[in-house]
Structure 1
């Protein structure tokens, strides 16, 4: 990958090496302008969720909902995402624990040795993030964030730390929902988990009709190639670059340090025997899961993902003491997730469960508005826009599909559209608002030690370019799948 990027951009790369202050291209100037604005005006992620809560409150009042009903929706929904909150916190913690182990430190260092210049490093992070997101979105966050830190330790790259951190987020902002961890595609393919309200409309839709459609695969690669190029050319150069040191980030804090027992009782903390015994139990569990459910179903479970990484971290650290030291360092990376996700649970409840004077919720009004103006020709674009709008307010892939599916699939059925492609319209479009919504950024921000305002200028640049391309391709490929 690095060789291809270097060959395709040799002229620009030479500027990085030979010119102290190379000129900024159009994309770099655009991203720089957005970043300057975001650093000055974009609020902290917690302020963002508070303001969103108040906006939804006003919207509920506007449709005629009573103040007490809105308050009830806020309170009842506040803890609805607690299992997911714990899962997301563990994504950040276990990823950090694994990466701080000596073997992974060496592996990530090898990945970090590939690019030769700062812009190439940013493009390399984008590639790694999006490629890994096809397997698992959580993996892309953790691997991308830790790769950024490893690259930042190579001071000679003069890599913009903000742009690289934003590139690590592209798996969530561009491609994850087109891959194997797509919540909606997995839900539609599993008859046992499919709600009756959805199964009565579409029935089971196999993966061959969703993420494995050739149109979906082409869309994935178009987004990947386009995003890599955007971030390469949008990456700051010369004196515009802000390194990790400039951002006040210590990128050496996860480096493993050797410890030794100081008393006889420390044997239990330093022996590798206890971690191995526990990991053997985990191996037995995963063997049973593979045998019963198959590889795809096993790895697509977020609980299994976190369990695997926790056990892997325990094994790679080789002893309990090193493992616990890593956990202690990792816990602060999850602080934003723990305090903010409950508010998103409240927002989701206020959007879907609080009803106005006509007995309908905000999400019901939105779905009917968009579906009513769609026809056979405009269905992909209209539903894509609708999915993006609701995705900004309810940033939860699987949960949001359960809300949207009855409307989207019924409209697809009435218009004789391809049911599987309707799922992919949802998948591709709902990832777009992730580029500016801090919800999914939080685990990554915890790893790279930045604020949302530091990276959102670059991700907004990506949104401006990718949104029209995604909508056009959704429409174009729908024409090849018309039933």
Structure 2
């Protein structure tokens, strides 16, 4: 049945889903028109919201570009390549490859969302070198594991409300992760998705005549040839000592951060970890730079599109449109149904504000008073917003950009399979938030 459902979904998306850049342009126009029509903002005001907010994600954009680049450099180092090859050898057939890449992506995304995006995509490429499998579904399976991230260790909303002096602390206090990430209902949701997502991906595997395969030779990275050193500068470029004098202190800093200071994972720490390990494992600066030149080719989408999403977020927040959307969806909620409607509203807002922390800043002033008025469970409502934010990433190509850049595919190649996962995971998460 799932194979039957995925076939028209793949064809529909392949025909009508535009390039992510076109998608972000259309979202910009829709958000601006809605702010004018619904919120009665003037075109001048909307233009100012957009222009003033356009560059507000520059730090985040650079972080995401570095996630792609440093993750690629790490995975292309000889030791990691051998590890991925050994793990990929566990897959004996196409079905096994689909299940294996999904489980690896789910586990990595639960630990950290940036780590999951990069590891899933690179592992999919490694599997495609060894197993004859539909490459579109393989990469879609790697991306589908990302849906779990906001219920994991790096979920921005549960970590925000667990932090002292967060912006809603006066209203709800500090809510520990025992009530959110490690609560029974959230762990039960995570467990259900660890079972259902790989199974659904496996059942969507097309027949041989409908599958799209990739020539493994096209996935092979260029292996640098050993050059004869003729200049003093080339001794430095090929010096293991020089690389390790910088890379090993970076690894020691991470040990100090995690072990002695009890620090956690965030985007900067993940990037620093990827870079330090890449420097050490590549052994020479020349090997690292060769890998960098290959990695940077896939970063164009991030560079050009993230500023547009920053502009959309500014329109949504400053015009009041995001608040209006949230209020309209929860206006008829009850104590029991508020988590469900919070989940749906967060999923809708996420299409325009694809940022977990930014979305909570938009929706918390609406959701928290509603939860207090109805007597609803506030940690559950907060996690409902978190899961809604993660859920529609299966439809919103914003977060797929690093995966697509590494895999060498377009959004339309994988989003048909993701659409089926969107429907099924939406049902599972809705039931979990309401009944678990």
Bin the TM-score by the shorter chain: over 0.9
Task: Tell me the residue number matched to 1:270.
Answer: 238
Q: How far has the Cα of 1:377 moved from its partner? A: 2.3
1:54 aligned to which of 22, 29, 35 = 29
Superimposed CA distance per residue, residues 68-88 of structure 1 (whole angstroms, 9 cap, x where no aligned partner): 111111111110111110011
Residue in structure 2 matching 1:388, options 325, 329, 347: 347
1:175 and 2:148 are equivalent in the alignment: yes
Deviation at 1:415, TM superposition (A): 2.0
Work out whether 1:279 is the aligned partner of 2:247.
yes
Q: CA deviation at 1:243?
A: 1.0
Check if 1:341 corresponds to 2:341: no
Task: Give TM-score, length-normalised by structure 2.
Answer: 0.96
The aligned residue for residue 68 of structure 2 is 92
Aligned residue in 2 for 1:221 = 191
SS at the partner of 1:433? helix
Residues 355-376 of structure 1: CA deviation (Å, up to 9, x unaligned): xxxxxx1012112212322111
Match in the other structure for 1:252: 220
Deviation of the 1:32 alpha carbon: 2.1
Contact map agreement 1:158 1:241 (CA 8 A) in 2 = no
After TM superposition, give the deviation of residue 274 of structure 1 in Å. 1.3
Per-residue CA distance 1:205-258 (angstroms, 9 max, x = gap)? 001110001221111010121111100010112111111239xx8210255654
Partner of 1:418: 377
Q: Counterparts of 1:258 and 1:166 in 2: how far apart (Å)? A: 36
**Where do residues 65-144 of structure 1 align in structure 2 (5 Å cutoff)?**
65-144=41-120
2:4 pairs with 24, 29, 33, which one?
29
Q: CA deviation at 1:286?
A: 2.6
Q: Please, which runs of 5 or more residues in structure 1 have no aligned partner?
A: 1-25, 355-360, 478-483
Q: Determine whether 1:202 maps to 2:169.
A: no
CA deviation profile, 1:20-66 (whole Å, cap 9, x unmatched): xxxxxx21222122112222221001000000000011101102111
Q: CA deviation at 1:262?
A: 3.6
Residue 257 to residue 404, structure 1, CA distance change in 2 (3 Å): farther
| Superposition deviation, residue 259 in structure 1 | 4.7
1:294 maps to: 262
CA-based RMSD of the aligned residues comes to 1.6
Tell whether the 8 Å contact from 2:67 to 2:118 is kept in structure 1 after alignment.
Answer: yes
CA distance in 1, matches of 2:347, 2:111: 23
User: Where does the alignment leave 5 or more consecutive residues of structure 2 unmatched?
Assistant: none
SS at match of 1:438: coil
Q: Is the 8 Å Cα contact of residues 224 and 290 (structure 2) preserved in structure 1? A: no
Query: Structure 1's 199 and 231: CA in aligned 2 closer, same or farther, altered over 3 A?
Result: same
Report the equivalent of 2:122. 146
Q: Matches of 1:265 and 1:164 in 2, distance apart? A: 43
Partner residue of 2:326 out of 356, 367, 378: 367
Contact persistence 1:184–1:423 (CA under 8 A): yes
Tell me which moved more, 275-284 or 65-74. Answer: 275-284
8 Å Cα contact 1:260-1:270 kept in structure 2: no
Alignment partners' CA distance in 2, 1:136 and 1:257: 35
Alignment partner, residue 396 of structure 2: 437
* Distance (whole Å) between structure 2 residues aligned to residue 418 and residue 288 of structure 1: 38
Aligned length in residues: 435
Match for residue 352 of structure 1? 317
Structure 2 residue 208 is the aligned partner of structure 1 residue 238 = yes
Q: 1:149 to 1:362 in 2, by over 3 A?
A: same
Residue of structure 1 equivalent to 2:162? 189
1:163 corresponds in structure 2 to 137
Indicate the SS of the match to 1:440: coil
State how far apart, in whole Å, the 2-side matches of 1:328 and 1:233 are: 38
**Which residue, out of 263, 271, 278, partners 1:313?**
278
TM-score, normalised by the number of residues in structure 1: 0.87
